[in-house]
């Protein structure tokens, strides 16, 4: 079993949220569901392209390795180590989102301020913890390299979407 599919899905969901964040607060229209969806799709598209970088890095590492089986095992172990902190982080985000949608207006606003806002700011730390998890779980330098590139790719989605489509809006 490989953690690659779960990591790619997690990265793509994060990219869609990044696209939404790049757009959020830039439009004063009341009904903007269509624009929110478009921003999420833009984030998803940019994230899909950027997430090719860690995939290509992993493939390159496997193709150039002397012992491909051992490199694959190390990348797999690193992937599981990378996935664990991100799963904890994603669970906290999902709980905050559930509170936002399930609670009355004031409580949902509080859930956003207390939960989603700080969690957004903690994304780089969650990715750093994931890189550490990849190394500690036996992934070594190759898993750290792939994890670092994946983290950088994920963190670049929101600025890229904002710069490409929403920079003119203040």
With cut-offs at 50, 70 and 90, classify the pLDDT of residue 170: low
Q: Which whole-number Å values give the CA distances from 52 to 26, 86, 136, 151, in the listed order? A: 29, 19, 24, 12
Number of domains into which the chain is organized: 1
Alpha carbon distance 75, 147 (integer Å): 10
pTM of the model: 0.90
Q: Which residue has the higher pLDDT, 114 or 61?
A: 61
Owning domain of residue 60 = 3-166
Alpha carbon distance 51, 145 (integer Å): 14
Rg (CA), the chain: 18
Min mean pLDDT across 5-9, 23-27, 63-67, 91-95 is at 23-27
Alpha carbon distance 154, 85 (integer Å): 15
Instruction: Name the nearest CA neighbour of 62 among 6, 2, 8, 137.
Output: 2
């Amino acid at each position: 079993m490989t953690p690659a599919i779960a990591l790619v899905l997690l990265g793509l969901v994060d990219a869609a949220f990044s696209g939404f964040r790049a757009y959020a607060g830039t439009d004063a229209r009341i009904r903007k569901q269509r624009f929110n969806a478009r921003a999420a799709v833009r984030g998803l598209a940019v994230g899909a392209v950027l997430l090719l970088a860690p995939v290509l890095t992993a493939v390159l590492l496997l193709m150039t390795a002397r012992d491909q089986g051992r490199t694959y095992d190390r990348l797999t172990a690193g992937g599981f180590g990378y996935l664990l902190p991100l799963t904890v982080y994603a669970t906290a985000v999902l709980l905050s989102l559930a509170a936002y949608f399930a609670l009355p207006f004031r409580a949902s606003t509080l859930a956003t301020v207390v939960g989603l806002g700080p969690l957004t700011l903690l994304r780089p730390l969650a990715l750093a913890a994931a890189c550490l998890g990849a190394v500690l779980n036996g992934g070594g330098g190759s898993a750290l390299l792939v994890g670092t590139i994946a983290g950088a790719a994920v963190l670049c989605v929101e600025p890229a979407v904002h710069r490409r489509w929403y920079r003119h809006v203040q």
